[in-house]
Chains A and B, each alone.
Chain A
Amino acid sequence: MIDLGASLLPAQGPITAFVFDNTLRAFESMGFEEALVSGSKTFGCHPYWAEERYHREFARGRILSHDLATELLEDLGDRADALLGFLGTRYHLRLAMLEQPLRLAPTRELEWLVTESDALRQFRDEVSPAIRTKLISRTRHWIMSEWQGHRGDAQPDRAREVIEPVMAGFDFSRVHQWPDATWEQFVLQALWQACLLGVRDAAPPIAPPARPLRHRDLLLEACGDDTDVVVNAMLIRYCAAFCDQGLAAWPLPTRDAGFLSGFRELYGQARGGPEPWLRGLRVALEAHAKDGLTPLDSIERSLVDLGVPDEEQEAFLSQTLLALRGWAGMIWQMETRGDRVPHPLPQGSLIEFLALRLLLERLALAHTARESMGWRGSLGDLRGFLASRAPEPESLTTEQRAFQIFQLAQLRGWRPEVLCRLSLPEWTALIGEVEAFSSIERRRIFQRAFERRYRMEALDALAANCRSQGSSPRHEKPPPFQVITCIDDREESFRRHLEEIEPACETFGTAGFFGVAMYFRGVADAHDAALCPIVVTPQHYVREHVALTFEGSERVRRHTRQAIGTVTHRFHMGSRTFTGGIIAAVLGSLASIPLVMRVLFPRTTAHLRTWFGGFVQPPRVTHLELERTEAMPGAEAGHVGFTVTEMTAIVERLLRDIGLTKRFARLVFVMGHGSSSLNNPHESAYNCGACAGGSGGPNARTFAQMANDARVREALSRRGLVIPDATRFIGGTHDTCNDSVRVDDLERLPSTHTPDFVRLRGVVNDARRRNAQERCRRFYSAHLNLTADAALRHVEARAEDLSQARPEFKHANALCLVGRRQWSRGLFLDRRAFLQSYDPAEDDDEAHVLERILQAVVPVCSGINLQYYFSTVDPVGWGAGNKLSHNIASLVGVMDGAASDLRPGLHRQMIEIHEPMRLLFVIETTAAAIERIIDRNPGIKTLVQGQWIHLAVIDPATGRMALARSGMFEPHEPEQTVLPQARCSRDWYAGCRDNVRPALINPSAAMPAHPMRGRA
């Protein structure tokens, strides 16, 4: 039962190695939309953007009427045409509810709206003039013909009930001279009156929400006192001390005793604080010890004490755990994945956490109920007592229901006369129909339509691009150089710029650990870091060593580094203590110099620091300990590294995956990526997702060295993969934050390749500048017409700026293309696409290569995408809230402000440019092949069938596209066959901060930048 609760907890480990994962992992077995509903109920978070946000996107053309209509029709199926009396068809009713925003407010605000605002004086702005005229003229006619004189007495009761009070408010004697404005008021008041009365008598169509389960929620409702405040405050302090990985100078002395026993030893002591609610704590803890209760017994006893019946226990325990889900989740992670932290937690800590939480809750509840409600009975009866005191829960009040109908009546032109004539069952049906299409349902359709718009644009663009490229003959001459980058969407623009600058070159994309799963330790690193996807546990170790020539100087430097490090650490800790602080404070005036420098001149300060650091950093010339002599891989000398056979397998696999098996260039640049920024607790989340929050640079370097090994090449050629002798691989790292590119092992490059390298370097440098320029369009603090050089300086300063809350924007992913570059080459995809290279021609009939690619790509990319989805639709609920108030706790996570629950997920500054939509996978293969792969891989199957991702295939032979819709592949019908063209990327995005549509980058394009690029 507790495991079930634990599965709901956020699955994010310590923040130092940020791993992306579907936030609703526990609900993955359901379909996406069902899971959203259950998940948002369980966690109390928004499943979609706010409706208002969708309306904004609708208004600026990011969702078209056409999309709404299509998705609505598809959703309704054959229920679309059901006629609902005078309301028209269900489809039209729902479309009206989508296209115009329906406002809903608390009852008291509605009362104000009705009495004080113009709600009963003027039609809503969205009401069309035709409907307005119709409503007024027909009502006028009705009133004039049937209510003049005493004829009104003959009207049905309901009509009299509605109209008579309204008439009383007007000067009816002058009805003939009423201007339109007066009639407008009359109509509106009659409508409102009719809606109120109609709704009042009709039975509420949907079941009211269930009463909350936890005593705390009921108590909060009844008296406004929140017991979670005190309980959480105490637990947060204790959990933070218990989980601490070395932040506090004085670690928890009772940590070794375990979570609960440690607490007992600490808080069971005499002379505690005066908090009244904790008065019973010592006695309770002693009783625990005396009775020898295990944590499970304790939970059992708490449940009995709180009077929770068996059938509710599961939900009750889950909700109790979720009340402090960040810390509970971290405890669970540190307990189950102890390998990820220096000081793991003992097994069973989460259960002990729950036992303690329930114990504290009992104390707090008893105290608060007594103080605020005068309750002196047992806790078991408290829920019943509170339920009897609180009003019945209602989904909507009469006024709220009536207001919805009132707005619809205006929009759809329902006359007061008609509403008055509705019978009770008709009213019930009407309300039922309206409320069946509640806000959540409307947002669901909006979300689908929003995704549809992007999907259509992206697929159309891919199709059109291929048509335009298809005619161009493939070069037979090998390209001047080839670049292999990470699949990451942030590399999309880098690749595009490389190809724009050097049209003859080729680029490839693959998961950024380049098939090398390893523990890596650099020269200046203290620990081995696992550089591979989180699902893989590496077996191999690779170490970096200083070249022998420099060994002497490195020894001195290492000692200097150690000395500086120790002194800094002493100073750092000392400045927080009593005596050391005095010295620190006296010397502290000197701190004003770095303070002022770093804030006002970040880039200069960084240069200075690098310059000074140069004296103690290890020499740049290093080599990798890559080859193993012993049989078993391991961390000890001799066991470090790979065998030649293993290296061959790695190199072969990667090259076959990306389809690079012939036409090798003289230079192949393997480029991993990482990100470095200051003042950023989430720094590791900006790194390579395929390297578990590490930098992919070492992997690229390792791979290049493997591929250069003559023995590896020989073994490869025996397996039919011939790498020409003239081809050299070099590895490097792209820093996505400051757009620097570092190349490793250049000293090993033969001098014959120097001209090739110089050429590559020129292109890469140019691409860096252009990439920086393209990124800068997103930063509001950068001017829109920065030159490329200024843009590069801007991003460099950002990375070094202490005060920069957005060193770089992260993902904005929406598309994942698995296929030949030919499909996407020359296409402006706005840094929103994961690009995995794959050549179906190199694959076997069973598509085994594709299968192994998808096994890694689908979970990783969809994990990133879904985490982004949830953090974007509700940054406070699912995400980590606002970065500005983050406070690093226990070295494992961040809290909000002084003390709060741990905040897993992504913070608001990170998701700013992301648009929440499920990832669209476009895979170059046949429908039959992909279906076989789906069937063989349950992980992928769950995601596809539950529609957690969208899936489309491009037939490699025909180039036709098909989209998976409810288990079938339907051919994609392009809406647009001609793509806008621009001469270069800059022409297309210039002057635009928002997302930009796909376009064809064609240097010979005649047209200048297309005016329709950004839509509004």
Chain B
Amino acid sequence: MTAFQILGTIVVASPTVLVAVLGATTASRWPMSERAIHRWIFSGVLVGMTAAIAVLVLMLLTGDREVPVEFGQWVVIPEEDFHFHMKFLFDWLSVPFVILSYVLCGTIGAFANRYLHREPGYRRFSMCYALFTLGMVLTSLAGTIEVLFFGWELVGLSSALLIAFFHERAAAVRNGQWVWSVYRISDAAFLIAALALHHLKGEGDFDLMMGAGPWPEGVASLTSAQALFIGSLLLVAAMGKSALVPFSGWLPRAMEGPTPSSAVFYGALSVHLGAFLLLRVSPILERSVILSAAVAAVGVLTAVTAAASARVQSDIKSSLAYASLTQVGVIVAEIGFGLRVIPLVHIIGHASLRSLQLLRAPSLLRDYHALENAIGGHLPAQTTGWSRWFPRSWQRWAYRAALERFFLDAWLETIVVRPFVGILSWCDRAERRWTDWLARGRSRESDDVLPNEMVVEELKL
């Protein structure tokens, strides 16, 4: 085993061990104390991060720009062209991203430890947080599309669970479910892309798919049409994960969870995963001009609508969510325009800045007060930027549209959700008729249950 192998294994293993330990103790009868959980998370992240930095140093010293770490085939079904190839890739894209993930997860984990102190859901939070860390590491380092998908799913799952962290509040659960549903759409696209890739190339290894050459110089071995097909699916996946138009509406909704999870997920890491995916498969983008144009268009559109929405939001978390989205849009547009390193730098800078801003969001009143004192008067109202060149009626419409978040959620609800629900309820009615006929009467006990069955509360007077 080379030094790379050992270090690479540590990078991946430390969050895995973390999840295993937290999961096992949470499920067991002897759950860990807050202090112990915190120690585990902190040391797990620290070990992983140190190893990741060591890999970076080693790569710089040896001049290696691409280091694969193999864990072999885990599942192979040759007849079906199916296999699960555990392989991790350390290159100029994955190493900075994994270090960023570790730094932010570690810092914000320390933040959350004090912030959620004595909170009834502390263990649940830590468990989801560890899952998220693992998901981020797997996604960043994935060397095959199936590993990437696995990490991607972990991130999605932990996100949705943490958005609905305060599950005693209806709004939190509703919004968590909304995000989960959007993720499902994007995951479905991702899965189809992964399967299609396996069918076309017989495997999902990025190396072969992208051709030789370390990132970002690889050349994809797909035809233009194949690239367009797979690339479009992956773009849909990225759109869902990064809240690009038309899925933008979920990002402000995701601000239901505790502040640290909002910061690390939607300010920093999770929201950039779509952009990361596009970077990872950038050789595919290069095969198809249409695809690149589509990516750029989605990015620009997102950036413009989000920038407008950010200006009108009058609560700090939504405002920051849209501010974050604006930059993600810009990053995606940069990728669409063929840039590779700049978007990566942009991601890292933006993630650090935004998570600091989100963590400080509750200090807003104090910060404004301090600024007012420094300036010596009320804060200068911002001019309405470029919108002042447009007629007033247009401005007013734009304001309303921005306030209503460009009606994106409403459109999704009208175009996607309602028909979907419509079909299912038609099926439900048909089934009921069938079972009623079979039972020669009313066949469903659940019909008698009131939609909101009264809960006995002590409140009843």
B326 within 8 A of A: yes
> Are A575 and B399 within 8 A (Cβ)?
no
A587 within 8 A of B: yes
Asked whether A884 and B116 contact (CB < 8 A) given A591-B353, A895-B315, the answer is: yes
User: Which chain B residues lie closer than 8 Å to A440 at the CB level?
Assistant: 458, 461
* Residues 874-898 of A contacting B (Cβ, < 8 Å): 876, 882, 884-891, 895-898
User: Which chain A residues lie closer than 8 Å to B357 at the CB level?
Assistant: 575
User: Which chain A residues lie closer than 8 Å to B387 at the CB level?
Assistant: 250
User: Which chain A residues lie closer than 8 Å to B381 at the CB level?
Assistant: 246, 251
Q: Contact check: which of B356, B374, B395, B455 meets A253 at CB < 8 Å?
A: B395
Q: Contact check: which of A105, A266, A587, A681 meets B365 at CB < 8 Å?
A: A681
A222 to B118, CA, bound (A): 39
A387 within 8 A of B: no
A 766-805 binary contact with B (CB < 8 Å = 1; else 0)? 0000000000000011000000000000000000011111
Shortest B39–chain A CB gap in Å is 14
How many residue pairs bridge A and B at CB < 8 Å?
327
24 A–B contacts, CB within 8 A, in A order: A15-B365, A16-B365, A40-B459, A221-B452, A240-B314, A241-B312, A249-B382, A273-B404, A342-B378, A572-B371, A588-B348, A588-B352, A681-B364, A802-B363, A803-B113, A803-B115, A805-B114, A884-B119, A885-B256, A885-B259, A888-B364, A897-B255, A898-B255, A899-B171
Q: Contact check: which of B107, B116, B252, B378 meets A526 at CB < 8 Å?
A: B378
> Are B397 and A271 within 8 A (Cβ)?
yes
Q: Contacts A526-B375, A887-B315 given; 10 further ones with Cβ under 8 A?
A: A104-B456, A105-B456, A240-B315, A526-B373, A577-B326, A578-B303, A590-B352, A884-B116, A890-B315, A891-B368
User: Which chain B residues lie closer than 8 Å to A802 at the CB level?
Assistant: 111, 359-360, 363
A 555-575 binary contact with B (CB < 8 Å = 1; else 0)? 000100110111011001101
A658 to B378, CA, bound (A): 40
B258 within 8 A of A: yes
* Residues 244-282 of A contacting B (Cβ, < 8 Å): 244, 246-254, 265-267, 269, 271-276
Size bin of chain A's contact surface = 35 or more
User: Which chain B residues lie closer than 8 Å to A780 at the CB level?
Assistant: 117-118
> Are B359 and A578 within 8 A (Cβ)?
no
> Are B384 and A250 within 8 A (Cβ)?
yes
B 301-342 binary contact with A (CB < 8 Å = 1; else 0)? 001100100111111111110110011001000000000000
> Are A805 and B374 within 8 A (Cβ)?
no
> Are A885 and B349 within 8 A (Cβ)?
no
> Are B323 and A680 within 8 A (Cβ)?
no
A777 to B317, CA, bound (A): 34
> Are B107 and A600 within 8 A (Cβ)?
yes
Shortest B327–chain A CB gap in Å is 5
> Are A781 and B117 within 8 A (Cβ)?
yes
A500 within 8 A of B: no
A858 within 8 A of B: no
User: Residue on A with the closest CB to B306?
Assistant: A578
A15 to B354, CA, bound (A): 25
User: Which chain A residues lie closer than 8 Å to B355 at the CB level?
Assistant: 595
> Are B365 and A683 within 8 A (Cβ)?
yes
Asked whether A897 and B376 contact (CB < 8 A) given A106-B456, A891-B365, the answer is: no
> Are B458 and A888 within 8 A (Cβ)?
no
B27 within 8 A of A: no
> Are B317 and A587 within 8 A (Cβ)?
no
User: Which of A44-52, A148-156, A817-825 is near enough to bind chain B?
Assistant: A44-52
A586 within 8 A of B: yes
Asked whether A888 and B365 contact (CB < 8 A) given A253-B395, A565-B375, the answer is: yes
A223 within 8 A of B: yes
> Are A252 and B404 within 8 A (Cβ)?
no
A66 within 8 A of B: no
B 397-433 binary contact with A (CB < 8 Å = 1; else 0)? 1011011100100110110000000000000000000
A589 to B353, CA, bound (A): 7
User: Residue on A with the closest CB to B111?
Assistant: A803
B245 within 8 A of A: no
> Are A898 and B317 within 8 A (Cβ)?
yes
B 2-25 binary contact with A (CB < 8 Å = 1; else 0)? 000000000000000000000000
A681 to B387, CA, bound (A): 32
Give the interface centre of A44, A105, A803 by most chain B CB atoms within 10 Å.
A803
Count of interface residues, chain B, beta-carbon cutoff 8 Å: 113
Q: Contact check: which of A46, A229, A266, A585 meets B346 at CB < 8 Å?
A: A585
B225 within 8 A of A: no
* Residues 255-292 of B contacting A (Cβ, < 8 Å): 255-260
B396 within 8 A of A: yes
The 9 closest A-B pairs by CB, nearest first: A224-B451, A565-B374, A588-B353, A588-B349, A273-B407, A576-B323, A897-B256, A592-B352, A585-B350
Q: Contact check: which of B169, B259, B392, B404 meets A237 at CB < 8 Å?
A: B404
> Are B365 and A51 within 8 A (Cβ)?
no
Asked whether A50 and B360 contact (CB < 8 A) given A249-B382, A561-B374, the answer is: no
Shortest A286–chain B CB gap in Å is 16
Shortest A16–chain B CB gap in Å is 6
* Residues 379-404 of A contacting B (Cβ, < 8 Å): 391, 395-396, 400
A248 to B254, CA, bound (A): 20
A681 to B373, CA, bound (A): 18
> Are A596 and B323 within 8 A (Cβ)?
no
> Are B107 and A596 within 8 A (Cβ)?
yes
User: Which chain A residues lie closer than 8 Å to B169 at the CB level?
Assistant: 885, 896-897, 900
B 158-197 binary contact with A (CB < 8 Å = 1; else 0)? 0000000010110110110000000000000000000000
A803 to B312, CA, bound (A): 28
User: Which chain B residues lie closer than 8 Å to A271 at the CB level?
Assistant: 397
Show the binding face of B for A, using Cβ within 8 Å: 103, 107-108, 110-119, 166, 168-169, 171-172, 174-175, 252-260, 303-304, 307, 310-320, 322-323, 326-327, 330, 345-346, 348-357, 359-382, 384-385, 387, 392-393, 395-397, 399-400, 402-404, 407, 410-411, 413-414, 450-456, 458-461
Shortest B358–chain A CB gap in Å is 10
User: Which chain B residues lie closer than 8 Å to A223 at the CB level?
Assistant: 451
> Are B385 and A577 within 8 A (Cβ)?
yes
User: Which chain A residues lie closer than 8 Å to B396 at the CB level?
Assistant: 253-254, 265-266, 269
A856 within 8 A of B: no
A 797-834 binary contact with B (CB < 8 Å = 1; else 0)? 00001111110000000000000000000000000000
Give the interface centre of A224, A589, A594 by most chain B CB atoms within 10 Å.
A589
A678 to B367, CA, bound (A): 10
Q: Contact check: which of A45, A439, A569 meets B375 at CB < 8 Å?
A: A569
Shortest B333–chain A CB gap in Å is 11
User: Which chain A residues lie closer than 8 Å to B315 at the CB level?
Assistant: 240, 247, 887-890, 895, 899
> Are B453 and A106 within 8 A (Cβ)?
yes
A888 to B320, CA, bound (A): 12
> Are B353 and A584 within 8 A (Cβ)?
yes
Give the interface centre of A40, A575, A600, A900 by most chain B CB atoms within 10 Å.
A575
Q: Contact check: which of B107, B372, B400, B451 meets A269 at CB < 8 Å?
A: B400
> Are B255 and A887 within 8 A (Cβ)?
yes
* Residues 44-66 of A contacting B (Cβ, < 8 Å): 44-46, 50-51
A 435-446 binary contact with B (CB < 8 Å = 1; else 0)? 000111001000
User: Which chain B residues lie closer than 8 Å to A845 at the CB level?
Assistant: none
Q: Contact check: which of B117, B352, B378, B400 meets A595 at CB < 8 Å?
A: B352
A221 to B450, CA, bound (A): 8
A608 within 8 A of B: no
User: Which chain B residues lie closer than 8 Å to A221 at the CB level?
Assistant: 450-452
A582 to B326, CA, bound (A): 10
User: Which chain B residues lie closer than 8 Å to A897 at the CB level?
Assistant: 166, 169, 171-172, 175, 255-257
> Are B350 and A395 within 8 A (Cβ)?
no
User: Which chain A residues lie closer than 8 Å to B103 at the CB level?
Assistant: 592, 596
Shortest A42–chain B CB gap in Å is 12
> Are B114 and A220 within 8 A (Cβ)?
no
Shortest A245–chain B CB gap in Å is 9
User: Residue on B with the closest CB to A526?
Assistant: B372
> Are A888 and B359 within 8 A (Cβ)?
no
